[in-house]
Every structure is written in C-alpha cells, then in structure tokens.
A and B are shown apart, each in its own frame.
Chain A
Amino acid sequence: MWEQIRANKRNSILLLFLMAAVLGSIGWTIGMAYVPNPNGGILGLGAALAVWLILAMVSFSSGDAIFLAASKAVPVEKSVHPQLFNIVEEMAIAASLPMPKVYIINESAPNAFATGRNPQNASIAVTAGLLGRLNRDELQGVVAHEMSHILHRDILFVTIAGVMLGAITMISQIFLRSMFYGSMYGGGGRRYSSRDKNAGGAQAIMLVIAIVCAILAPIMATLLYFALSRKREYLADAGGARLTRYPEGLASALEKISQNTIPLSVANKASAPMYIVNPLQKEGMKLSDLTSTHPPISERVRILRGMAGASFADYSEAFNKSTHSTTPIPSSAMKTVEHLEIRQASTQQAAGYKKQTRDIGDIMQRAGGYKFIDCSCGLKMKIPPNFTGSKVQCPRCGAEYNSRR
C-alpha cells in the first residue's frame, strides 16, 4: 500500500506545480496584453501566482469543506443513524484509522464519497437513499470502500484536483464572458476611434487566452478523470473487501446503486470522480466506458464475486480471471502472504419498497434536525427543528412528552 500512498502524495504536489505553471503563463499573457512590456508581464505573473497561492491554501485547508457544502452534506450525530455510525467505527477500527466525520446528503439517489486532507481530517458522506436501500452488509461494503480511499490517501489528491478544476472552469467562464461583452462594446467603439490600436491587440490576446482556458478546463477534467481512474477504484474495492472480509457486501451494494435511476442533483463534473459510483453516467453506455472515471460496475461486481478469499492477492487473481489485463494491485500489497477467509453473511432481509421509501424520508428528516418521539400508543411523532414548545401531546392518545429530549 505504501507505493499507492507515496504516489498519491507525489501526484498532489505535482498537480499543484502544474497548476502554478498554467496560471502563471495565463497571468503573464494577460499582463503583456494590458501593458506591452516586461513589467506588465511580471505584474500579471505575480497576480496569477497570488491567485494560485490562495487556491492552493484553500484547497489544502478547506477543500473538503467546499465539497461537502457543494454536495449539501450535513454533519450528523450518532442518534440520527446509529447503524451508519457503528459501521463507520467498525471500518475505522479495521483500518486502524481515527474515526472520520460522518455526513448525510439529503438525496434519494444512492451514492457516497470520502474527502479530506489526511486520515486525521477525513469525512465520509453518504446519501439518505443509500442508507434506506442497503442492508447492513452492503452499507459496510460501501463504507469500507470509502475507508480504503482514506487509507490510500486518495482523498487529498482528489480534493486538490477538484478545487483546481473548479477554479479553472470559473476563470475560463469569466474570460469567455468578458470577451463576449468586450467584443460587443469594443467592436462598436473601434469604428470611431482608430488610434487605439493597442486595444485591438489586447483583445485578440484576451480572445486567445479565453479559448485556451476554455480548452484547458475540459482537458484538466479528463486528466483528473484518468488520474483518479479505474486503478484507484479497483484498489479501493480490493481494500474494502479486505477490511470487511466480505466481498459480496460491496458487490451487491454496487449492483443496487447501479440499478438506481434517480439522478444525484448535487453532483457536478468536479465532484463526480469522488463518488463510489459515477453519479453523472448511466450504466450501459459502452463508448463512455472507455474514458470513464469509474470502471464499469458489472466488471467490479464480477471481480468481487470471483474472489476466493478476502486478501489483495485474491482480488488480483479474480481481476486477472475477469479482465485478462494487468492487475491494479501494487506488488508490495501482496508481498506478505495472507490467508483471509470470507466471513458469513449476516441474515438481514431487505425491507420492502414501501418501507424503504418511508425510511429514506425519515432519515432525511432526522438529518434535517427533526426529533422523533415514539408514543406508547404506537404513533410516531416528528418534531420539526423550529418547534419552540417544551411539551408535545400525542394527537391520538393524548399522552404528553417532553419535546426537548
């Protein structure tokens, strides 16, 4: 695993410097466009590097907070979903990592992601739809997959890459717009004042930059997609199977997630690679499978189901059998020979469709700050977070309860 961790740290630093180079050259060009001598260029370069420094600091210190806020994830207490907390704790113990912060996203599409700077500052976010649809073993599989991303330090790289990608996209948008308006007014003005020759030249350069940025943003996206790519996902699947000693849990969770047809509205291009299953893509589109961030789910499921044991070596073997290509598992992970038996399933049955839907609604309300009080007559009272009274009365049997419990 050390190879992967080192590679991720190296890639994060590499990405930061790549961004410095890109932003710096953009700054230089703009500076030269406004003040056509080296002083202008240096000024532009300085400004760009300042922007880069701020971006780097922001993505390093609070990149995870940006993603969590953009995904509308709310931090939750154990009482909101005790089982989720227990499972996260179990996986943290299995991975020998500190307990990450737990977030719930109030969406009915099932999905999950992990983010953070390092294992000491990590967060796991799952959607309410995921909690409602999966049984205990499946949820454990998903959490184990996310815990492996934390263990392998995938989270820092993805977070930095996401913030940088978002910033580049924003800058390119600003340029595209300023170019559009600039050409509207500037184009009209040039007809009357032909002595301002520099403005035309600056505008041409602005136009070139805008186009470069517009081209650069999608390229960065693809870079990010490939860097994050299949290898990390396969590796996290293998790690998840090893942590739980139960590959079937993750396999059947992936299947359930892929059967979902509800779109995840809080996901965007920058955050899509972070999720356990690509939230922007429908399974079965063969062409997009080629460049996708995530391996096809059917493949991931087939590999997990083909595992004879729960070790990395078992995953590697199942991978070879299923895909006939080189294994994504680094050799250092397979150096110590492990004989890990697959454990038995717990015998929880899946809830019916109606109950699942009701559960998802309940989880969303709990995450939204509602308090639930079970009356002894069997009625469930849901107290909204803005309720100010200290007592509530059961509308069916009249019993009084303390609403501040």
Chain B
Amino acid sequence: MAWIIVLVVVAVIVFAIIGMYNSLVALRNQVDNAWSQISVQLKRRHDLIPNLIETAKGYMQHERGTFEAITAARSQAMGAKNVADAGKAEGVLGAALSKFLLTVEAYPDLKANQNFLALQEELSSTENKIAFSRQAYNDQVLFFNNKTQMFPSNIIAGMFNFSKREFFELENESEKAVPKISFGN
C-alpha cells in the first residue's frame, strides 16, 4: 500500500516537472520568435533608408546634415552586436528618422511625389511595426522572466539553465511614442 502511495506521489512530481519544463521551453521560443520579428522590421528599416534618401535628396538640398545623421545612425545600428547596443543605436536612428519626417513637411514638392509618398507610408508603417513588435517582445520577456523567477518554476529554470532575458529598450525614451508623421494628401 505504502509503495503505491509513494509511486503516485513520484509520478505527480515527475509530471509537474515535465509540465513546467515544457511551458518554460514554449515561453522561451515565444521570446525568440518575438525577437526575430523585431529583427525583421529593423532590417526593413535599414533597407528602406537608402531609397528614401535617394528620392528626397533632389528636393531637399539644404538638409544635408539630416541625411548624414540618418546614414551614420544606420551604419551604427547595422553594426550592433547585442540587444542593449542595438537598442541604443536604433533609438538614435529612430529619432533621426522622425526628425527627417517632420522636416519633410516644409517641402510641398516632395510631398506631391507619388514615389516618395509610397516610401513614406512604408517607412512610417515600419516604424509602427518596430514599436509594436517591441511591445510584443517586451511582453513576452516579462512573462518569461516572471516564470523563471517565481516559485516553483524557478527551481526547474535553475536546473535547466533558463536564464533571464533582456528587455529591448530604446536609448531615447521619447521614442516610445510613435513619431509624429504626416501622411499629407
């Protein structure tokens, strides 16, 4: 009789461990997935910039400083090696881009260019997607980190090396708000 009770208790514990381990793996995969979503959008942002500058250059002769700032921030961001560095560089790039999109307001000829309007919609949508994927990523990281730190799943997390993940913070916190962009008609 006693054996059966011991057996049942052991089985329950084993199943609980398996369940917690699996849910930790699932959460970690979600974090990785959310991060890959951010990288896709960041890459898209980097790809859009040369086109945008090429189109705008002819119209905005007096804004060379703005273009240079964007180009410098872009190469900085593309060279980033880890989450914290990327956050810093992308924050700077985001700020430069939102400044650029504000400057565009002063150039009605540019705003009448269909090609530029299409690029502008793509860029501002990409900016939104970066913001939204960052939202989703940070939510997932929060869930995951909570799970790795809370009892009893923290025991399993410690046993199998589930380490805490970093939030994706942008350098410039005003970047949290989506930049003011005009979609003038």
Contact = CB atoms under 8 A, between A and B. Distances in A.
Contacts of B163: none
B37 A86 contact: no
A348 B184 contact: yes
Nearest to A346: B181
Given A82-B122, A351-B185, A346 B178 contact: yes
Nearest to A91: B132
B125 interface: yes
B48 to A, nearest CB: 12
A94 B182 contact: no
Interface string A79-118: 0001100110111011110000000000000000000000
Contacts of B182: 346-348
A349 interface: yes
Q: Counting chain A CB atoms within 10 Å of each CB, which of B37, B176, B185 scores highest?
A: B185
Given A93-B133, A341-B176, A346 B125 contact: no
A93 B132 contact: yes
Contacts of B181: 346-348
Contacts of B135: 94, 245
Contacts of B128: 86, 90
A48 B61 CA distance: 76
Contact count band on A: 20 to 34
A255 interface: no
A72 interface: no
A343 B125 contact: no
Contacts of B136: 93-96
Interface in A237-251: 243, 245
Interface in B76-90: none
Nearest to B178: A343
Given A93-B129, A96-B136, A348-B184, A83 B178 contact: no
A87 B124 CA distance: 10
A402 interface: no
Interface of A: 82-83, 86-87, 89-91, 93-96, 135-136, 243, 245, 341, 343-349, 351, 355, 374
